[in-house]
Structure 1
Amino acid sequence: MRPERVSRWFVTVSALFFVGFHAAMAVAAPRRVVVTLGLYGFVLHVLFGKAYALVPSYFDRDLAWDRGPAVQFPLSALGTTGLALAPLGSPWLRPIGTALWAGGVAVFLGTMGWTIRDNPTGAATGTGGPNAHREPVDRTANVAVPIALGYLTLAAGGALATTAGFESMLPQQLSHLLAAGTAALFVFGVGFRLFPRFLVAEAPQPIVAVVVGAGAVGPALLAFGLFDRRLLLIGGVIETIAVVGFTLSYLVLFLRSERRRVGFYAVLVAVVAGVVGIGLGLTIAVTGRSPALVSAHYRAMLAGFLGLTVVGAAFQFYPPAVGVWPYANNRTALVTIGLLGGGIGIQLLGLIGRFGWIISVGTAAGALGALLYTYLLLAAFARRWQ
């Protein structure tokens, strides 16, 4: 079975998790349920699926094991479901969910690792022809991928060790390793390869190196210094450099480009949310934790920065206008982006200003946006199924 086809399986199930993620926020589900659905369910499933499709060509290699994606898919989907339900259900859901999820990660790491085994830093980029001038940026961007895989390895090992009773990592530490260490680094690395081509513009090469370097170091300090104010602040500053640098790079690309496709606006909102979210994180590091600030921070980063970046890239890979169902078009996509971006903005306003009813409005808008996103994605896939 072709990896490209299985990649769509990952993207499809990720959209369902996306709906669950926003629904969980709307009903005020426990934070662990919300984070699992959003991070493990939505973001990481897209990451797995698109990594199988993109990383081999970015490293000028062929996928080492074509069946790897199909083997991983049920393990990741079922494992994530078990982990999401664990806080609400039987105690056995957590160890089983962790084992299944870690098994899926092992398949992914083994397949990716063997694929790039003789080109681990991505020095060979597969870049040529009319894009030959992009090779320096591509080579720098590729470095992010093996580091992201390293963070994923650390998180999976930590999850297994904790489940086995060693208490090696707290859930918050695992979340930072996966969100900042794996997902954000993939956004930086793959983003610096995708977005310049999508926008037909040039990324500033010095900023690319700074973003990848800071993005490689920051997550470790955040995760392992989470309860050390000094390390947390240092890690927060370094991660801020990465997120702000990526934001500036994308803004430069956007302003230099004459293209204005609908997905680009989602990423534009995403990078703004990322700057807001990282600012909230720095505030937590300086002033201490408060439930409202913590909730605002993870929602801005997970639903805003990572979530809307995924939505924007998905709209580029699977254009809404090709959908065969009614109202599958760019206008509906813009409404979707508005609901998702506006929803997270309203939630942040409610959390920081302590206006409970406003939070409900924001979560309702986000849930509707997630439903529309899923509809548009399935409408685009329906054309392929015809």
Structure 2
Amino acid sequence: MSAAIVSRWARRYVLISALFLLVWQIGMLVGFPRRTEVLLGMFGFVLHMIFGKAYSLVPSYFERELEITRAPAVQFPLTVGGTCSLAVSSVLPGLEWLEPIGAILWGLGVGVFLVGLLWTIRGNLTGEATGTGEANADRRSVDRVANGFVPVALGYLAIGSYEAVAIHTTLPMLFDGYFPRVSHLLAAGTATMLVFALGFRLLPRFLVASPPARLVILVLPAGALGPLLLATTLGSSSTWFALGAVIEAVAVIGFALVYGVLFVRSERRRVGFYGVLTGVASGVLAIILGLSFALGHLTPSLALAHFRLNVLGFLGLTIVGVAYQFYPPAIGTFRGASNHAALLSIGCLAGGLLIQVVGLVVPLRLLILTGELLTLIGTVVYVYQIIAVFHAR
């Protein structure tokens, strides 16, 4: 019964994540501020997908069942309400009073999430017990290593969320109140780290292939250390910032290589796999751009391109690909729900993002608008596919 409850709530998180993506893409076209994009894209789209799937995956990967089964239901209105409040206050003048309310709601929701997961895995924090069956006994060593980095991602979530609350309230801040530190802690520290850790367990099973173990061992520690150096030295031209950029580059490029190997080795060709493939390619482009920042080549338009490549590209397209694997479009009951439509959504998202990036680098406003329109079309198709599948279930 508890598994059914968690699964039902996971679908709600996936749906609200998709709706946040839709609002974000509309906001791009109408000119939402950068802060609003971060809130809708990172807090809304990416993290709510992660919340929903983490409730389903993390307990089973640690050979446990979610003990506080009401946690997803309690958290949902808190983080959704917090994200909406923060986003609205960032885009509409005169509503600054919503900021502390939104931040507190977000912090409470994240607290529920962390307590729910950490209480569940409290006797197995290192992930020694993996829940790996005998049929996958050869994967057990990679599973065990990957498990060990899940608490690292949860730690980044706690630190980043606390700082977000502190910035908008009277709580003492851990850093200097510079909001991009929060977004880096949550994007690189939490979301990307969980993509690595859970991805090394999930993706080999999806593709029925084995990852290069040495690359896995390289990626995970680099992915754990890089965000700390980046977030704490962000905005400086110090050697530590450059080192953080290089370490994070090793992690993302290494993960891209692992997925590339899995993709080539696999005989399967599911539509969702192409989402992850375009996601890791976007991640490599984002890393190249990020490394240029460490060399002093930073402008507002390049920073926006970097953000979109990471959140809509690497994290976003990976999320879309994994969502299509968990929720196959072909089972959707609505007219137009199909693998071809899903592939169209991936193509529009990836192609539109690439056009946006070119437009931001050149810069050329017409290209940016064209790319934003394409990603909006891709998002609409994605949301439609998800709703069609959930209606069938």
Work out whether 1:114 is the aligned partner of 2:116. no
Find the counterpart in structure 2 of residue 343 from structure 1: 352
Aligned to 2:302: 293
1:55 aligns with 58
Counterpart position of 1:224 = 232
1:64 is displaced (CA, Å) by 1.8
Instruction: Give the partner amino acid of 1:143.
Output: G
Match of 2:385 in 1: 376
CA contact under 8 A between 2:252 and 2:283: conserved in structure 1?
yes
For 1:117, give the aligned amino acid: R
Which deviates the most, 174-183 or 22-31?
22-31
Superposed displacement of residue 78, structure 1: 0.6
Give the SS at the match of 1:287: coil
Question: How far is 1:370 from its partner?
Answer: 0.6
Displacement of 1:355 = 1.0
CA distance in structure 1 between the aligned counterparts of 2:256 and 2:115, rounded to whole angstroms: 32
Map residues 43-122 of structure 1 onto 2, 5 A cutoff: 43-89=46-92, 90-122=95-127
| 324, 332, 336: which one aligns with 1:323 | 332
- Larger displacement relative to structure 2 (211-220 or 122-131): 122-131
Q: How many residues align?
A: 384
Displacement of 1:284 in angstroms is 1.1
Helix, strand or coil: the match of 2:186?
Answer: helix
CA distance in 2 between partners of 1:143 and 1:219 (Å):
17
Percent identical among aligned pairs is: 51
User: Aligned-pair distance for 1:344?
Assistant: 0.4
What is the CA–CA distance in structure 1 between the aligned matches of 2:315 and 2:54, rounded to whole Å? 15
Per-residue Cα deviation, 1:115-153 (whole angstroms, up to 9, x for no partner): 111111111100022111100110111122100000001
Name the counterpart of 1:196.
Answer: 204
The correspondence for 1:35, drawn from 35, 38, 50, is: 38
Alpha-carbon separation, structure 2, partners of 1:124 and 1:82: 40
Query: Is the Cα–Cα contact under 8 Å of residues 218 and 239 in structure 1 kept in the other structure?
Result: yes
Supply the distance in 1 between the matched residues of 2:144 and 2:14 (Cα, whole angstroms).
27
Q: For residue 254 of structure 1, what is the aligned residue in structure 2? A: 263
Structure 2 residue corresponding to 1:276, chosen from 265, 270, 285: 285
State the Cα distance separating 1:156 from its structure 2 match.
1.5
The answer as to whether partners of 1:336 and 1:369 remain within 8 angstroms in 2 is: yes
**Amino acid aligned to 1:114:** W
CA shift, 1:157, in A, is: 1.4
1:359 to 348, 368, 371: 368
Query: Structure 1 CA distance, aligned partners of 2:29 and 2:130?
Result: 43
Q: Which of 129, 135, 158 lines up with 1:130 in the alignment?
A: 135
Are the equivalent residues in 1 in contact too, given 2:272–2:322 (CA < 8 A)? Answer: yes
- Give the structure 2 partner of residue 20 of structure 1: 23
8 A contact 2:32–2:91 mirrored in 1: no
Per the normalisation by structure 2, the TM-score is 0.96
Provide the C-alpha distance between the structure 1 equivalents of 2:91 and 2:159, rounded to a whole number of angstroms.
Answer: 26
For residue 124 of structure 2, what is the amino acid of its counterpart? N
> Which stretch shows the higher mean deviation, 164-173 or 370-379?
164-173
**For 1:268-318, what per-residue CA distance to the aligned partner results, in whole angstroms no more than 9, with x for missing partners?**
000000000011011111124201110110010010000000000000000
**Any idea what the Cα deviations from partners look like across 1:212-248, whole Å, max 9, x if unmatched?**
1000000000100102222221110000000000000
Gaps of 5+ in 1: none
- Decide whether the 8 Å contact of 2:9 with 2:72 is kept in 1: yes
Unaligned runs of 5+ in 2: none
Aligned equivalents of 1:173, 1:288: Cα separation in 2: 19
What is the TM-score of this pair, normalised by structure 1?
0.98
Are 2:16 and 1:7 aligned? Answer: no
Match of 1:173 among 177, 181, 184: 181
> Which of 215, 219, 222 is the equivalent residue of 1:211?
219
Does the 8 Å CA contact 1:143/1:212 hold for their aligned counterparts? no
**Aligned-pair distance for 1:23?**
1.2
Write the letter of the residue equivalent to 2:342. Answer: A
Q: Secondary structure at the match of 2:169?
A: helix
Which letter does structure 2 place at the counterpart of 1:253? Answer: L
The Cα of 1:164 is off from its aligned counterpart by 2.2
Deviation per CA, 1:35-75: give whole Å up to 9, x if none.
Answer: 11000000000000000001000000111200000000010
> In the TM superposition, what is the alpha-carbon distance from 1:209 to its structure 2 partner?
1.1
